[in-house]
Each structure stands twice: as C-alpha cells, then as structure tokens.
Amino acid sequence: MKVLVQRCEKAKVSVDNKVVGQIGKGLMLLVGFTQNDNSSNIDYLVDKVINLRIFDDESGIMNKSLLDVGGSILSISQFTLYADASKGRRPSYINALSGDLATKLYDEFNNKLKNKGINVETGIFGAEMKVDFINDGPITIMLEK
C-alpha cells in the first residue's frame, strides 16, 4: 500500500465537471494498493497519516499533526502509484491491485480515517477525476507499508 501525502491549503475533486469532494486546510492523499495488502497495512498507514507532524507550530516548525490542527482529508484512489516504467516507455500497472479488491481496501482505509474523527472527502473510485489543490509548502511525502 502506498499513500502520497500532500499538505494543502484546499483541495477538490470533480467528476464530469461536478465537485464530488472538497476540503479546506488538511491533506490531499493519493492512495494505491498492491497484492497482499490487508487491514494491517491500512491500520499502520491510517495512524501514520493522522499523526504525521507536517503542520507548522507557533514557531513555524513542522511539529503538529492533522489531529492537532483539526484538518480534513481529500482521499483519491490512485492505482498509478504502482506504475512500473522500468522497461520501455509505456508504464505497466501489473503491480496494482485489481479494482474489485482495491475498492474494498480503499473504503476500509477511508472508514478507518473517519472513525478517528477526521473529516474525509473522496473522489469516485475508478472514475475519470480532475483534482485541483494548493500544495502548502510544498510538502509531499510518500508513505508505504
């Protein structure tokens, strides 16, 4: 499982020119799954994401977590995190988990974030999405389990 974490001032996702998810200050997450991912991976990354100290404290030092600042999450499914472009010029996505299995893990991931008291907005799994956000910092961190 991979989660690309981006601290943002605001973020939104649209499908067919309609906004389906939108947040203010918080984290924009791109979330991908591969073979053998399970609830243990999800638990680890939920804890890591919400406690990652990447928000500024009163001294301007990244010392606060999403929980500390009361931020929200925009979670976007992203199978291309498992793209392999090591051969040729067309990426292979063979390492990405199939959609029917990945959607269950993606829903579990988002529900576990919500169960921690986080406001979570999402895109639509498998849809053609347009994501618009302001990366604050910029701060972008890849997490993997």
Q: Which domain holds residue 90?
A: 2-144
Q: What is the DSSP letter of 34?
A: B
**Cα(118)–Cα(38) distance, integer angstroms:** 21
Active-site residue, 78 included: yes
**Cα(19)–Cα(12) distance, integer angstroms:** 7
Looking at every residue in the chain, the average pLDDT score rounds to: 97
Residue 91: per-residue pLDDT:
97
**Cα(32)–Cα(124) distance, integer angstroms:** 14
Predicted confidence band of residue 65 (pLDDT cuts 50, 70, 90) = very high
Predicted confidence band of residue 12 (pLDDT cuts 50, 70, 90) = very high
Catalytic residue among 78, 109, 122, 133: 78
Predicted confidence band of residue 21 (pLDDT cuts 50, 70, 90) = very high
Structural domain tally of the chain? 1
Active-site residue, 55 included: no
Catalytic residue among 33, 55, 79, 133: 79
The CATH number of the domain holding residue 33 is: 3.50.80.10
Active-site residue, 79 included: yes
Q: Cα 47 vs. chain centroid, distance in angstroms?
A: 13
The one-letter amino acid at 121: E
